[in-house]
């Protein structure tokens, strides 16, 4: 690694703000939820009697692979890496339609939809917070350093 890749900027040299820690924890919980759900569907597909064994296995593997995005993003947020905010925001944006579809169901899925929506919105708020943005070393538009 080069010196530029390993050094921290002055904005990220301080302690991690609580809001950033909370965003990382919520993102990690979403990743763990996806992984657990994927393993559960995969095990049921392999050991149970699903309507379509191939579909159950495919869904399980897909959920486990999708769990990697928020888990890697959470790790980056804990380490205060600026790249990690993007994948975490994408995860939250993808969670909102899932929550909406669960809220439209007439079943026990409604509480799950509420929980997913609350976590996604809370995480988005934490991720776009100014304190979090500064801790990650992300500058807004028009605030690029002067080039001489």
Asked if residue 22 is part of any domain, the answer here is yes
Contact 57, 45 (CB under 8 A): yes
Residue pLDDT tens, the chain, 148 long: 444 444 444 444 568 899 999 999 999 999 999 999 999 999 988 887 767 788 888 999 999 999 999 999 999 999 999 999 999 999 999 999 999 999 998 888 899 999 999 999 999 999 999 889 888 888 877 666 655 5
Asked if residue 52 is part of any domain, the answer here is yes
Asked if residue 69 is part of any domain, the answer here is yes
Instruction: For residue 12, give the nearest of 129, 126, 128, 134 by alpha carbon.
Output: 134
Asked if residue 34 is part of any domain, the answer here is yes
Asked if residue 97 is part of any domain, the answer here is no
Asked if residue 11 is part of any domain, the answer here is no
| Number of domains making up the chain | 1
- Specify the pLDDT at position 4: 45
Instruction: DSSP for 100-129, please give it.
Output: HHHHHSSSTHHHHHHHHHHHHHHHHHHHHS
- Specify the pLDDT at position 123: 96
Asked if residue 61 is part of any domain, the answer here is yes
Determine the structural domain holding residue 70 and report its residue range.
18-77
Contact 25, 126 (CB under 8 A): no
Asked if residue 92 is part of any domain, the answer here is no
Cα–chain-centroid distance for residue 105?
24
DSSP 131: H
Which residue do the tokens 């028009």 mark? 142
Contact 70, 95 (CB under 8 A): no
76 vs 3: CA distance, rounded Å:
19
């Amino acid at each position: 690694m080069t010196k530029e890749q390993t050094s921290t900027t002055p904005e990220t040299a301080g302690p991690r703000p609580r809001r950033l820690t909370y965003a990382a924890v919520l993102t990690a919980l979403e990743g763990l939820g996806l992984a657990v759900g994927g393993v559960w569907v995969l095990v049921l597909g392999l050991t149970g009697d699903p309507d379509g064994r191939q579909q159950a296995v495919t869904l399980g593997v897909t959920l486990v692979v999708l769990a990697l995005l928020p888990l890697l993003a959470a790790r980056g947020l804990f380490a205060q890496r600026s790249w990690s905010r993007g994948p975490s925001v994408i995860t939250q944006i993808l969670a909102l339609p899932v929550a909406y579809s669960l809220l439209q169901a007439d079943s026990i899925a409604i509480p799950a939809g509420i929980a997913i929506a609350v976590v996604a919105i809370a995480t988005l708020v934490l991720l776009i917070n100014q304190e979090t943005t500064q801790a990650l070393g992300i500058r807004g538009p028009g605030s690029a350093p002067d080039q001489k």
